[in-house]
């Protein structure tokens, strides 16, 4: 039986931030100081989703909601906005961006591509009412790989884009060769620069295939974890230390892992 409501959470935050009786740690926090924790909770939420752990997902969503309330409370104390303003803003935005659901002329059976085009069209109209921002300003908060994909999409909207995937793949090969040359020379600064170029092109490959580069990389991370755990367990069961001298055997187990754990 549920006993608590969003009002209870808001009251808890108010108590935690009370300058007299609150928690010293919570009292001294700012939006900036808890930003990294908010990002951490976001990643933990994504991890629970990827693992299909619904119990943990419920918990992580609660942690994430707590951070939304935390940020809103700090803003309220600074006279900026409060939690009801946050709710008002998102309800208004979602209603405005879904005219096919909430508008006078509803189109529930729109194709997903049409919905995406409609969404982008509405976003453009919203931006037209705001002061013009510099290119790239609206993607600063994203991870580097996500921001790369967003920047490429923004450039594509101005017509600055490869016509298909083939020249993008050619560009990847070109950047890999430049990276190889930098490594041979041993120029650390150049290696970093060329590696960034390679990653940037990889993000573009994801975009051209209508994939999310961040999701693809997170999937590969999880795949690596599964396979490495298999290698480690096999080495432990064989009572063989995991050292560079045993690389050939570990590679053998790694190849086995592909068919066993995926």
Band of the pLDDT at 43, cuts 50, 70, 90?
confident
What's the pLDDT at 97?
A: 84
Residues 233 and 201 in one domain: no
Band of the pLDDT at 101, cuts 50, 70, 90?
confident
pLDDT mean over 83-98 = 93
> In this structure, what CATH number is given to the domain that contains residue 180?
1.10.287.1080
Residues 183 and 220 in one domain: no
Give per-residue pLDDT as tens, 178-221.
Answer: 999 999 999 999 999 999 999 999 999 999 999 999 889 988 99
CA dist 85 and 255 (Å) reads: 54
| Number of domains forming the structure of the chain | 3
Place of tokens 């740690």: 25
Mean pLDDT is lowest, of 63-67, 80-84, 146-150, for 146-150
128 inside domain: no
Band of the pLDDT at 24, cuts 50, 70, 90?
very high
What's the pLDDT at 51?
A: 87
What's the pLDDT at 136?
A: 65
CA dist 53 and 57 (Å) reads: 6
Residues 173 and 249 in one domain: no
Band of the pLDDT at 128, cuts 50, 70, 90?
low
Give per-residue pLDDT as tens, 229-259.
Answer: 999 999 999 999 999 999 999 999 999 999 9
14 vs 119, more confident: 14
What's the pLDDT at 100?
A: 81
pLDDT mean over 17-44 = 94
| Residue 249 belongs to domain spanning | 215-260
CA dist 124 and 126 (Å) reads: 5
Report the half-sphere exposure of 168 (CA within 13 A, side-chain side). Answer: 18
CA dist 161 and 230 (Å) reads: 42
Residues 14 and 92 in one domain: yes
As a residue count, the chain comes to 262
What's the pLDDT at 133?
A: 58
Q: What is the DSSP string of the chain?
A: -----HHHHHHHHHHHT-TTTS-HHHHT--TTTTHHHHHHHHHHHHHHHHHT-HHHHHHHHHHHHHHHHHHHHHHHHTTS--HHHHHHHHHHHHHHT-HHHHSSS--TT--HHHHHHHHHHHHHHHHHTSPPPPTTGGGTTS-HHHHHHHHHHHHHTTT-S-SSHHHHHHHHHHHHHHHHHHHHHT-HHHHHHHHHHHHHHHHHHHHHTT--HHHHHHHHHHHHHHHHHHHHHHHHHTT----GGGHHHHHHHHHHHHHHT-
CA dist 249 and 243 (Å) reads: 10
Give the tokens for residue 114.
């049409």
Give per-residue pLDDT as tens, 161-176.
Answer: 999 999 999 999 999 9
Residues 49 and 10 in one domain: yes
What's the pLDDT at 209?
A: 96
Whether the CA torsion 67, 70, 71, 72 is positive or negative: it is positive
């Amino acid at each position: 039986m549920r006993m608590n409501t969003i009002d209870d959470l808001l009251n808890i935050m108010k108590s935690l931030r009370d300058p007299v009786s609150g928690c010293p740690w919570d009292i001294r926090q700012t939006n900036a100081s808890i930003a990294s924790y908010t990002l951490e909770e976001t990643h933990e939420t994504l991890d629970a989703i990827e693992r299909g752990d619904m119990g943990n997902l419920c918990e992580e969503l609660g942690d994430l909601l707590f951070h939304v309330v935390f940020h809103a409370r700090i803003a309220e104390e600074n006279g900026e906005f409060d939690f009801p303003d946050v709710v008002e803003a998102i309800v208004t935005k979602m209603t405005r961006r879904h005219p096919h659901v909430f508008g006078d002329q509803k189109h529930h059976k729109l194709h997903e591509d049409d919905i995406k085009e409609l969404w982008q069209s509405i976003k453009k109209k919203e931006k037209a009412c705001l002061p013009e921002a510099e290119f790239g300003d609206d993607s600063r908060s994203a991870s580097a790989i996500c921001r790369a994909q967003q920047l490429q999409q923004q450039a594509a909207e101005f017509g600055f884009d490869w016509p298909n995937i083939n020249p993008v793949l050619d560009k990847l090969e070109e950047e890999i060769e430049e990276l190889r040359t930098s490594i041979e020379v041993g120029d650390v600064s150049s290696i970093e620069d060329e590696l960034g170029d390679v990653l940037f092109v990889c993000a573009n490959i994801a975009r051209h295939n209508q994939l999310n580069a961040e999701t693809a990389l997170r999937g590969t991370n999880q795949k690596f974890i599964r396979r490495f755990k298999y290698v480690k367990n096999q080495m432990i069961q064989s009572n063989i230390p995991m050292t560079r001298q045993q690389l050939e055997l570990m590679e053998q187990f790694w190849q086995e892992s592909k068919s066993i754990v995926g």
